[in-house]
A and B are shown apart, each in its own frame.
Chain A
Amino acid sequence: DVQLLESGGGLVSPGGSLRLSCAASGFDFSYYGMAWVRQAPGKGLEWVSTITAGGDRTYYTDSVKGRFTISRDNSKSTLYLQMKSLRAEDTAVYYCAKIYRGVDSHYFDYWGQGSLATVSS
């Protein structure tokens, strides 16, 4: 079975840093793009960042460009999100998600359970 297990969340002060990890199992991690999606308290889902299977291309939502870095270690089947210069508005549950990319369809087919990052003084 596919499993995605996030870790690394916690409480951090504004301007601080946090690194989230997502350990994947049950599929060939190196074949699939991966992404991070977040949900702030009381808000909807927001796509944050995507990385291709080989890690050669990355994409970010405008609000995190220059502050967040997505990366992956295919030898460890692990996805990362390095978050710097954190702001209160980055407080959210962060989900990692596996991407299915077909000819006529692209979607998130599996999701982790989420990791809460709280930015507060």
Chain B
Amino acid sequence: DIQMTQSPSSLSASVGDRATLTCRASQNIDTFLNWYQHKPGESPKLLIYAASSLQSGVPSRFSGSGSGTDFTLTISSLQLEDFATYYCQESYSDSWTFGQGTKVEIK
């Protein structure tokens, strides 16, 4: 099975800061990598698919990059509504494994 490892597990940042989240796959997954945002009491929301494609309706301050085993989600300027937990997920295998999540908290 493919393992997905996210870092950091949590980060504290201020409104307006740039946030960089990373995700590493245990084997090559090409660009079959998605990012989701999840807030308590809500359903997860797709942000980025295929490593770098922005889902319709998602603000352009979100961007993704990477291929193979190493991936990055960048939030260029954090807004209040961005404080949430972010998950990467591989869709290369038949088992769509999630990373353990990165919680972005207000400093």
| A residues neighboring B (CB under 8 Å) | 35, 37, 44-47, 50, 59, 61-62, 95, 100, 104-109, 111-114
In the complex, the answer to whether A114 meets B43 with C-beta atoms within 8 Å is yes
Chain B window 27-47, contacts with chain A (Cβ cutoff 8 Å), 1 for yes, 0 for no: 000011010101000011110
Q: Smallest distance from the beta carbon of B23 to chain A beta carbons, Å?
A: 13
Q: Tell me the bound Cα distance from A61 to B38 in angstroms.
A: 21
Number of residue pairs across A and B with beta carbons under 8 Å?
62
Q: Tell me the bound Cα distance from A2 to B32 in angstroms.
A: 24
| Chain B contact residues, majority secondary structure | loop
| B residues neighboring A (CB under 8 Å) | 1, 31-32, 34, 36, 38, 43-46, 49-50, 53, 55, 85, 87, 89, 91, 94-101
Chain A residues contacting B91 (CB-CB under 8 Å) are 105-107
A35 closest partner in B (C-beta): B96
Q: Smallest distance from the beta carbon of B94 to chain A beta carbons, Å?
A: 5
11 of the cross-chain contacts (CB-CB < 8 Å) are: A35-B96, A37-B98, A46-B98, A47-B89, A47-B95, A50-B96, A100-B49, A107-B34, A109-B55, A111-B43, A111-B44
| Chain A contact residues, majority secondary structure | strand
Q: Tell me the bound Cα distance from A104 to B36 in angstroms.
A: 18
Of the candidates B97, B100, B101, the one whose C-beta lies within 8 Å of that of A47 is B97
B34 closest partner in A (C-beta): A107
Contacts A95-B44, A105-B53 given; does A59 touch B94 at CB 8 Å = yes
In the complex, the answer to whether A106 meets B98 with C-beta atoms within 8 Å is no
Q: Smallest distance from the beta carbon of B64 to chain A beta carbons, Å?
A: 12
A105 closest partner in B (C-beta): B50
A39 closest partner in B (C-beta): B38
Q: Tell me the bound Cα distance from A111 to B42 in angstroms.
A: 10
A97 closest partner in B (C-beta): B44
Q: Tell me the bound Cα distance from A47 to B31 in angstroms.
A: 19
Q: Smallest distance from the beta carbon of B83 to chain A beta carbons, Å?
A: 17
